[in-house]
């Protein structure tokens, strides 16, 4: 079999979402793989496995790509918000804040993480189709823009904010009715969606908010989905949003922000071919500009919400190979010390990834294997039909593109502790998430006295 390595598939340092591996990936004199100047197998030995590894340089390069493209192609003000549902942590919030970006959150936990990480409330928006009173209150108290998703949001805020107090900063979300080719669970812009007001409800809602002293409508929001490789749906979105902007301003709302969401895809396997960050921003910026010119609208501040395309490629998960099982004529399984609890995407979405042996990434493939997780589920399989050199138990496998929706969607299924996480940069590795221990999983269990007595 031929050699295969994600390191050899080509690198686009200006648009990390088009790479399989982080932009700092390199091979040392012994043929071993480094990221951020750190030897991956040494990180596995030092911190244990499974281990989330985040390359700081790749993340910052993606942030820079969004900022530069917005400045280059859009004539008005602009702001990129990190969609923190992709991966929420103090260190990520700190990096995002230092890059001058904002952040979007969908819970009090994500809000708290962002604020503690240094993102100012004025650069945060709160999403969600069923926000609690506590979440709404916390956002309001911290100057966070609240995305109005439905009538329930309006009703709750109208009761919570006393007459004469500072009005809440609001953004109105609606479903634009635009389909795109992606997994049905991550399409959010079509009409049959749990998110946002329908287009035919807009005028009624805008009139209601106009007469609400507690409300200050600053922006409009729409989002069409995730892991999208097409540019045309985003261009179509601009026209729909410009119509909504014109209506809002005609009804007396000083709307300054137009939030087109995110959704740009990333390269998980060699056959994936997402647009570059610059191409994506250029298409949207030009479409919004044209749509506003046609309708004689002053350019709004253009906001976008990248998540996966910012952080996915910067992440690698390291596992150690354990047992092996060969079924003659059918399949060979290599079992690892993690699986669906640290990466639920394959069993949830049938997501595909790329991987290699981190100390032999350039070795010729000698067999086709399936990488199985250790959980008590037949479907706990991370990679099928992966070409690898003959692998020994104890070797370290690196799975690429795991910076988004792995840590944030992790669980304690089978009461397995969550992994540790490190950030690497210029040869230095910093622990940013401690590994859970089995005893940590008992912290919130409560055993009533009567059960102790029975024992």
422 phi and psi angles, rounded to 5 deg: -130, 150
Residue 63 is among the residues annotated as catalytic for this protein: no
Look-up of token digits 């396997």: 269
* pLDDT score of 184: 40
- Longest CA–CA span in the chain (Å) reads 76
Residues 431-452: pLDDT tens digits? 999 999 999 999 999 999 988 8
* pLDDT score of 194: 87
Among the residue ranges 82-86, 98-102, 234-238, 359-363, the one predicted with the least confidence is 234-238
* pLDDT score of 163: 87
Q: Tell me if the bond preceding 50 is cis, omega within 30° of 0.
A: yes
Tell me which of 51 and 194 has the higher pLDDT: 51
* pLDDT score of 226: 87
Residues 132-168: pLDDT tens digits? 999 999 999 999 999 999 999 999 999 999 988 999 9
- The residues facing 316 across adjacent strands are 53, 400
Rounded distance, CA 48 to CA 40, Å? 11
Residues 94-137: pLDDT tens digits? 999 999 999 999 999 999 999 999 999 999 999 999 999 999 99
Give the SS3 label for residue 226: coil
**Domain 57-311, CATH among 1.20.140.10, 1.10.10.1400, 3.20.20.10, 3.40.50.2300:** 3.20.20.10
Confidence of residue 187 (pLDDT cuts 50, 70, 90): very low
If you average pLDDT over residues 353-363, what whole number do you get? 97
Among the residue ranges 87-96, 177-186, 319-328, the one predicted with the least confidence is 177-186
Rounded distance, CA 182 to CA 195, Å? 17
DSSP state of 312: S
Active-site entry in 63, 64, 376, 426: 376
* pLDDT score of 198: 93
Cα 83-287-301 angle, rounded to 5 deg:
55
Mean pLDDT estimate for the chain: 94
Rounded distance, CA 137 to CA 48, Å? 40
CATH number of 6-55+314-441: 2.40.37.10
If you average pLDDT over residues 64-84, what whole number do you get? 98
- CA 268 → CA 72, 78, 87, 315, 341, distances in Å? 28, 29, 17, 11, 19
What percentage of the chain reaches a pLDDT higher than 90? 88
* pLDDT score of 3: 44
Residue 382 has pLDDT above 80, yes or no: yes
Residues 2-56: pLDDT tens digits? 444 565 556 788 999 999 999 999 999 999 999 999 999 999 999 999 999 999 9
Residue 100's contacts (CB-CB under 8 Å, 6 or more residues apart) are 67
For the chain, give every domain's residue range. 6-55+314-441, 57-311
């Amino acid at each position: 079999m031929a050699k295969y390595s994600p390191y050899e598939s080509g690198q686009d340092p200006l648009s990390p979402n088009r790479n399989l591996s982080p932009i700092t990936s390199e091979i040392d004199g012994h043929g071993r793989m480094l990221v951020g100047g750190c030897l991956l197998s040494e990180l596995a030995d030092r911190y244990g496995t499974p281990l989330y590894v985040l390359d700081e340089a790749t993340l910052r390069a993606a942030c820079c790509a969004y900022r530069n493209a917005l400045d280059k192609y859009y004539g008005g003000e602009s702001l990129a918000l990190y969609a923190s549902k992709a991966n929420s942590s103090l260190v990520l919030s700190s990096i995002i804040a230092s890059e001058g970006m904002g952040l979007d959150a969908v819970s009090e936990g994500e809000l708290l993480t962002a604020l503690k990480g240094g993102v100012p409330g004025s650069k945060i928006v709160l999403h969600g189709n069923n926000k609690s009173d506590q979440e709404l209150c916390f956002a309001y108290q911290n100057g966070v823009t609240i995305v109005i998703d439905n009538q329930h949001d309006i009703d709750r805020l109208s009761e919570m904010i006393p007459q004469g107090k500072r009005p809440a900063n609001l953004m109105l979300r609606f479903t634009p009715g635009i389909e795109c080719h992606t997994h049905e669970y991550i399409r959010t812009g079509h009409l049959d969606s749990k998110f946002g007001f329908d287009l035919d409800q807009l005028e009624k809602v805008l009139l209601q908010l106009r007469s609400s002293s507690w409300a200050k409508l600053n922006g409009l929001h729409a989002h069409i989905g995730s892991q999208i490789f097409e540019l045309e749906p985003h261009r179509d979105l601009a026209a729909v949003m410009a119509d909504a902007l014109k209506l809002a301003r005609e009804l007396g709302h000083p709307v300054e922000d137009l939030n087109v969401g995110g959704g740009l895809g990333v390269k998980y396997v060699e056959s994936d071919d997402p647009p570059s960050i610059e191409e994506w921003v250029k298409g949207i910026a030009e479409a919004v500009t044209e749509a506003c010119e046609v309708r004689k609208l002053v350019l709004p501040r253009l906001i976008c919400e990248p998540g996966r395309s910012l952080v996915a490629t910067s992440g690698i998960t390291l596992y150690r190979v354990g047992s092996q099982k060969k079924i003659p004529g059918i399949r060979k399984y290599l079992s690892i010390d993690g699986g669906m609890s640290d990466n639920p995407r394959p069993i949830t979405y049938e997501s595909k990834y790329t991987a290699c042996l981190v100390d032999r990434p350039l070795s010729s493939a000698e067999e086709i294997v399936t990488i199985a997780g250790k959980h008590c589920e037949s479907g706990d399989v991370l990679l099928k039909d992966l070409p690898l050199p003959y692998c020994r138990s104890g070797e370290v496998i690196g799975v690429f593109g795991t910076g988004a929706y792995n840590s944030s969607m992790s669980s304690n299924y089978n009461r397995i502790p969550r992994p540790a996480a490190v950030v690497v940069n210029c040869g230095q590795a910093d622990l940013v998430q401690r590994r859970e221990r089995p005893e940590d999983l008992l912290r919130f269990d409560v055993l009533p006295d009567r059960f102790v007595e029975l024992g």
